[in-house]
Structure 1
Amino acid sequence: MKKVSFAEFGGPDVLRLLDAEEPHAGPGQIRVAVRAAGVNPVDWRVREGQILAAHPLELPAGVGLDAAGVVDEVGEGVEGVAAGDRVFGEGSSTYAEFAVLSAWALMPEGLTFEEAAGYPSVVETALRIIREVGVRSGQTLLVSGASGGVGSAVLQIARERGITVIGTAGAANQDYLRSLGALATTYGDGWAERVRRLGRVDAALDLAGSGVIRELVELTGDPHKVVSIADLGAPEFGARFSGVAGSVPDALTEAVDLISRGRLHIPVEKTYPLRDAAAAHIDSQAGHTRGRRVLVV
């Protein structure tokens, strides 16, 4: 089978599309014929060797956590899923023609493989950081860098829970944020004052890692009400860096419910063939995404 792999830490150029042995489902796992794989910032952080404490690995290593595809192997002890089922979920080395998943759910009706591949890690992250930041119904949440995959999920989940959201993004994505129910403003010079004019901030999330933690702490008045998934230096300001996943099966269950009820939709901004994984990483690292980037197998 074909698989994207890297033998040394570094930039996108270390990624190679190689022939590899097919993986097989162990106990409690399934294997899928991958149809699409989500591209997440954690993928290129792992490739660069940034977060080895949370994601230890041995080189050479595969890439990717999220996938959607068709079940073709079911491991020992697995129930409720069979060969031929269309599923989406999380595993390892998903930038490949076959991948083993450790958490999965049946795809909701009407969802394409490309769309489904964009949900697993994004929804788990969104649910986790909303919980960690402690924001409640009736309060206001500020989301810095709100137009990407996680931001898109946060905005919709928060709206569903009665939380007002102020989102920052580039000028081109202001209408997109508003379509998801957020109060929108641009980042750049004077952004904190523009946020103040939109209202009080009870809690804040940093999704872009653009050096805004100090201002987020000032806006909330409490570093314990600030969580980042992108700035490893957040603890220097008393804020929290969140990098350890919670329950992916629970997140997938909630995702299926929200998607099925029409309360959650994350668009796919761009798709890439497997051979263009490096280009997908370059685009992901550049930011300014509206929704998700996905590899198509």
Structure 2
Amino acid sequence: MKAMAVSTFGPPEVLTLMEMENPSAGPGTVRVRVKAAGVMPFDCRVREGTISYVRNKPLPIIPGNEFAGVIDQVGEGVEGFEAGMEVLGFSLFNSYAEYIVVSADQIVTKPPYMPWDIAGGLSGNGQGAHMALKAIGIGHGDTVIIHGAAGGFGTWACQLAKRWGAKVVIGTASEANHDYLRSLGVIPVHYGEGLVKRVRAIAPQGVDAALDAAGAEALRASVELVPDKKRIRTMVASETADELGVPALEGMRSAARLQELTDLYEEGAVRIHLRQTYPLALAQEAHRLVETGHGRGKVVLTL
């Protein structure tokens, strides 16, 4: 099979199209012929080798932790899935490839009318936002600020927060993405110096909770705005969180969580904006785009 993999850690250029042995489904697993794979900031850190446990994995490593495709092998003991079924799912690695083998509890059935590129990029950001919002206890009447609100993760977080009853959702974003946030029912606000003052002007009643997908500066602003640190989480600034006494994000991706998100999409309750799609061989370009950090929506590889 063809796969985009890394034989050494480094910049996007280390991603190389390789011919690799096809994996085979074993007991409790299925093999999926991949049609689309989402690109996450996590994948970029895998490529860089900046995640400690990644450096202990044998090379080459195939990045990619969300995918959609068609089952073509079913291992012994698997129930509820069969060859030919269209699915979407998650795995820490190996999605940037023509085939992936995963446990049957890491996939759900793809709705018939969900496009492949949407399906390939749904699991990672959607489940991350779901876990984070559950952790900070978003509920009816809350005022919440989401930093990095226009990206793939932020788009999910904004919509889920509103779905779960948040009264006011404030989203930090660059000026170019403010109209997009307004279309989601979010109050946009500029990044940078003076953020705390601008947010207080928007929400004089106070801010109940905060979710950071932008970095240390945004997390520090969140601590100024939110009285209870237990109602703050960051996806990207773990060292700063430790310094400030903000709890680490805990939780696991699951098929049940993914099914809930898929159902919401099928109901029309959430929408996913595609920023850009690339063929598998251009994964380097996809990583460069994700690493710019201020994009709108999701980046996806197609096969």
Question: 2:51 & 2:248 partners in 1: Cα distance?
Answer: 12
CA shift for structure 1 position 245? 4.9
Q: Aligned letter for 1:230?
A: V
CA shift for structure 1 position 47? 1.5
Candidates 267, 282, 292, aligned match of 2:273: 267
Candidates 133, 137, 140, aligned match of 2:136: 133
Map residues 1-297 of structure 1 onto 2, 5 A cutoff: 1-53=1-53, 57-91=57-91, 92-102=93-103, 103-163=106-166, 164-199=168-203, 200-209=206-215, 211-233=217-239, 234-242=241-249, 245-297=251-303
User: 2:217 is paired with a residue of what secondary structure?
Assistant: coil
Question: 1:75 & 1:55 partners in 2: Cα distance?
Answer: 30
Is the contact made by 2:126 and 2:153 (CA closer than 8 Å) also made in structure 1?
yes
TM-score by length of 1: 0.95
Q: Aligned letter for 2:99?
A: F
Gaps of 5+ in 2: none
Q: Aligned letter for 2:156?
A: A
Is the contact made by 1:208 and 1:230 (CA closer than 8 Å) also made in structure 2?
yes
Question: 1:43 & 1:136 partners in 2: Cα distance?
Answer: 31
CA shift for structure 1 position 101? 2.7
CA shift for structure 1 position 287? 1.4
User: 1:67 is paired with a residue of what secondary structure?
Assistant: strand
Identity %: 41
Is the contact made by 2:38 and 2:64 (CA closer than 8 Å) also made in structure 1?
yes
Question: 1:123 & 1:274 partners in 2: Cα distance?
Answer: 22
User: 2:26 is paired with a residue of what secondary structure?
Assistant: coil
- CA distance 1:174–1:210, change in 2 (3 Å): farther
CA shift for structure 1 position 286? 0.7
Q: Which stretches of structure 1, 4 residues or longer, exceed 3 Å deviation after superposition?
A: 53-56
Q: Aligned letter for 1:44?
A: C
Question: 1:239 & 1:54 partners in 2: Cα distance?
Answer: 25
CA shift for structure 1 position 52? 2.6
Question: 2:137 & 2:53 partners in 1: Cα distance?
Answer: 25
Question: 1:157 & 1:22 partners in 2: Cα distance?
Answer: 38
User: 1:152 is paired with a residue of what secondary structure?
Assistant: helix
TM-score by length of 2: 0.93
Is the contact made by 1:33 and 1:99 (CA closer than 8 Å) also made in structure 2?
yes
- CA distance 1:39–1:196, change in 2 (3 Å): same
Q: Aligned letter for 2:254?
A: V
- CA distance 1:42–1:56, change in 2 (3 Å): farther
Q: Aligned letter for 1:101?
A: V
Deviation track 1:80-108 (CA, whole Å, cap 9, x = no partner) reads: 11111111111231101111233111111
Deviation track 1:112-166 (CA, whole Å, cap 9, x = no partner) reads: 1101111111111011100112232211111011111111111111111111311
Question: 1:52 & 1:245 partners in 2: Cα distance?
Answer: 19
CA shift for structure 1 position 36? 0.6
Question: 1:93 & 1:67 partners in 2: Cα distance?
Answer: 9
- CA distance 1:245–1:96, change in 2 (3 Å): farther
CA RMSD of superposed structures (Å):
1.6
User: 2:52 is paired with a residue of what secondary structure?
Assistant: coil
CA shift for structure 1 position 55? 8.9
